[in-house]
A = this chain, B = another copy of it.
């Protein structure tokens, strides 16, 4: 081993005190959210019935480069942060590569993921505003767990609409949330208009993320003292997740290294949006030129095969329109697709940066190749990774193998955002050789694209 330690932790005193708002450095800002009825660009005030007030201000703020992390949030971060910057010596050895692989390990907390970084911020601002509680939806369960922990910490009530098939297949996820005091409701439910309509139309429905979002938003906007919280896609979420990249860069500076390649998986954008933070700042300012790779599942290929247009964020059409790479709000990934990263769209920030070439490459990977990488990683580096994060592992391994061919000793950084402890059914399927490799056909994609709205006011946008 070199003089670089296997794991490096920043001292508490060196932890970032502000989040980094990448929009301040973007020449072309992400397009604003639009009102689906009028086409008007939404201001902070327009969002306040949905989100806590300060979060609405953060959502539309594309000028302040740094936003102070409140003391209460910094205190909570001390429980789960700093996360280590790990040099993947054992993976490098197994690959016999000259590449130097680093990963920021964000998943070593009870939520099993990086979602806690934004959950605690969203809960804090809700508490500060004097709200009584929050609503949200969850699919795989990482976000719901994170928000349950955050709400328990601040004494907020929480209603989680959990996609019914997950509610039934992942009772343990539900049990964790309940242990933290959350009220977990299978969606579609009879507690909302949207849910009742869905149940009337499709009595045996096992639910979808889109319906769960619509239910959670309905309850938040119709209940005194409640607001809605979302774990990805939004600008505010990428702001909070910037803590990952800020810490990664601070740690790398202490070790006197800098990445040639930065890799994150891309579902809604919170993973890549988190790790890229300060490195993207360097690139936007022309200081350095790291190569950014967004990795997505080939079964849900928003960046590689989607369109960069305005679309609804939810299937129930209760949310605003966002300009993003999208497969269309009616797109449904194959049920055989394991794990998260099943959102039809993509963060507006990530979309704009990709469109403008600051994110250099989007790469779609097959899920059996993802689990192959995950298994190698588990056996060499010890940690069983989440399927989502394993997309980034796949790309990191492939880049390291390229280095082996060329003899280059590139420095690769990727974001290990989660652990796979609640995803073992997928590992079991992979171990048994029955994991599917389904990729949507162009015809499948066209069905999704047909859902993209064609309002008059969207022409030329």
Contact A180 B7 (CB under 8 A): no
Check: A78 CB closer than 8 A to any chain B CB. yes
Interface of A is mostly: helix
Is A70 part of the contact surface with B, judged by Cβ < 8 Å?
Answer: no
Residues of B within 8 A of A149 (CB): 382
Residues of B contacting A421 with CB < 8 Å? 110, 112, 172, 176, 421-422
- Given known A152-B379, A379-B153, A421-B421, contact A79–B6 (CB-CB < 8 A): yes
Interface string of A379-395 (1 = CB under 8 A from B): 11111100000000000
CB 8 Å contact bits of A42-68 with B (1 = contact, 0 = none): 000000000000000000000000000
* Size class of the contact patch on chain A: 35 or more
Task: Report how far A424 CA is from B175 CA in the complex, Å.
Answer: 6
Q: Is the CB of A180 within 8 A of B108?
A: no
Residue of B nearest to A151 (CB): B379
Q: Nearest Cβ in chain B — how far from A406, in angstroms?
A: 28
Q: Are A79 and B152 in contact (CB under 8 A)?
A: no
- Determine whether A438 belongs to the interface, using a CB cutoff of 8 Å to chain B: no
Is A39 interfacial (CB 8 A cutoff)? no
| A417 touches B (CB below 8 Å) | no
Max chain B Cβ within 10 angstroms of own Cβ: one of A11, A90, A179, A428? A179
CA distance A180 to B374 in the complex (A): 11
Asked if residues A382 and B427 are in contact (CB atoms below 8 Å), the reply is: no
Judged by a CB distance under 8 angstroms, whether A12 is at the interface is yes
Q: Taking the full assembly, how many copies of this chain does it contain?
A: 2
Contact of A382 among B109, B179, B379 (CB under 8 A): B109
Bound complex: CA A194 to CA B93 (Å): 42
Contact residues in B for A379 (Cβ distance below 8 Å): 152-153, 180-181
Beyond A12-B5, A178-B428, A428-B178, whether A79 also contacts B75 by CB under 8 A is no
**What residues of B have a CB within 8 angstroms of the CB of A11 in the complex?**
5
Residue of A80, A375, A421 with highest tally of chain B CB at under 10 A: A421
A431–B178 CB distance below 8 A: yes
In the complex, A39 Cα to B152 Cα: how many Å? Answer: 57
Nearest residue (CB) in B for A381 is B79
A431 touches B175 (CB 8 A): yes
The 8 A CB mask of A177-218 against B (1 = contact, 0 = none) is: 011110000000000000000000000000000000000000
Q: A176-B384, A379-B180 are in contact. Are A424 and B171 (CB under 8 A)?
A: yes
Flag if A428 contacts B12 (CB, 8 Å).
no
C-alpha spacing A269/B175, complex, angstroms? 29
Closest to A13 in B: B5
Nearest B residue to A379 via CB reads B152
Q: Please list 10 pairs of residues, one from A and one from B, whose beta carbons are closer than 8 Å in the complex, sorted by A's number.
A: A5-B12, A79-B381, A79-B382, A90-B153, A152-B379, A172-B422, A178-B427, A178-B428, A178-B431, A180-B378
Which 3 pairs, one residue from A and one from B, show the smallest C-beta to C-beta distance? A6-B78, A172-B424, A175-B424
**Given A110-B384, A153-B380, A181-B379, 11 other A-B residues pairs in contact with their CB atoms under 8 A:** A79-B90, A90-B153, A110-B419, A152-B378, A152-B379, A171-B424, A171-B428, A175-B427, A179-B378, A179-B384, A421-B422
